[in-house]
């Protein structure tokens, strides 16, 4: 009797989980098809085309004021991988050229994120972070842009600190 009951429980659970996973897969496929319909087969690259001029009054004031060579990326308070990335960054900088971090979001999560980033990063808070992000065409978090003399020369997805290190030392291929 107990065995039968346990078998029924296991069967119900497996059936439920399989059905839910199937439903989730349908949802994912639907989203992908909708994206294909609206965006087309080309990908939307955060930061824009490599080689483009990156020069607006805000960028000149807040980025080029630091150096003619600057790396910038955005972190969001509601992105848990951003929190993990910030915590994993080392206390010592990777290179002498400045690295700017745009902090987006609000509330206690933003305070926690700000406390996690190392001191060698130049932090830019809201609302300036969002305005600069728009000027840079930075549409995603954890995408770092290398800007030299007002031109976008490199871009990389920075999921772990070694990705950022590779971009700063020009060892990784650009995205």
- Under the rule (CB under 8 A), what is the footprint of another protein? 2, 5, 8-9, 12-13, 15-16, 19-20, 23, 26-27, 30, 33, 36-37, 40-41, 78, 80-81, 83-84, 87, 107-109, 111-113, 115-116
Choose between 98 and 161: whose C-beta lies nearer to another protein: 161
E strand or H helix that includes residue 21: helix 2-39
Residues in the chain: 175
Query: Least distance to another protein from the beta carbon of 76, Å?
Result: 10
Query: Least distance to another protein from the beta carbon of 46, Å?
Result: 20
Task: Identify the CA nearest to 118 among candidates 78, 75, 155, 169.
Answer: 75
Choose between 80 and 134: whose C-beta lies nearer to another protein: 80
Choose between 7 and 53: whose C-beta lies nearer to another protein: 7
Choose between 8 and 53: whose C-beta lies nearer to another protein: 8
Task: Identify the CA nearest to 155 among candidates 131, 136, 128, 134.
Answer: 136
Edge-first strand order for the sheet with 143-148 is 122-124, 99-104, 69-76, 143-148, 151-157
Query: Least distance to another protein from the beta carbon of 16, Å?
Result: 4
Query: Least distance to another protein from the beta carbon of 35, Å?
Result: 10
Coil, strand or helix: which one is 75?
strand
Task: Identify the CA nearest to 140 among candidates 125, 157, 121.
Answer: 157
Residue 150 zone, left/alpha/beta (φ > 0; ψ -120 to 50; rest): left
Choose between 49 and 119: whose C-beta lies nearer to another protein: 119
Query: Least distance to another protein from the beta carbon of 121, Å?
Result: 17
């Amino acid at each position: 009797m107990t065995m039968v009951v346990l078998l029924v429980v296991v069967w119900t659970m497996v059936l439920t989980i399989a059905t839910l996973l199937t439903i989730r897969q349908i949802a994912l496929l639907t989203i992908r098809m909708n994206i294909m319909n609206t965006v087309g087969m080309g990908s939307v690259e955060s930061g824009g085309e490599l080689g483009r001029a990156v020069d607006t009054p805000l960028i000149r004031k807040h980025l080029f004021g630091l150096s003619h060579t600057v790396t910038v990326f955005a972190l969001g308070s509601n992105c848990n991988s951003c929190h993990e990335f910030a915590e994993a960054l080392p206390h010592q900088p990777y290179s002498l050229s400045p690295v700017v971090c745009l902090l987006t979001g609000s509330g206690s999560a933003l305070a926690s994120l700000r406390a996690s980033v190392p001191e060698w990063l130049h932090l830019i808070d809201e609302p300036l972070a969002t305005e600069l992000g728009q000027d840079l065409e930075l549409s995603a978090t954890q995408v770092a842009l290398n800007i030299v003399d007002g031109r976008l020369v490199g871009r990389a997805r920075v999921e772990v600190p070694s990705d950022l290190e590779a971009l700063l030392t020009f060892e990784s291929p650009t995205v």
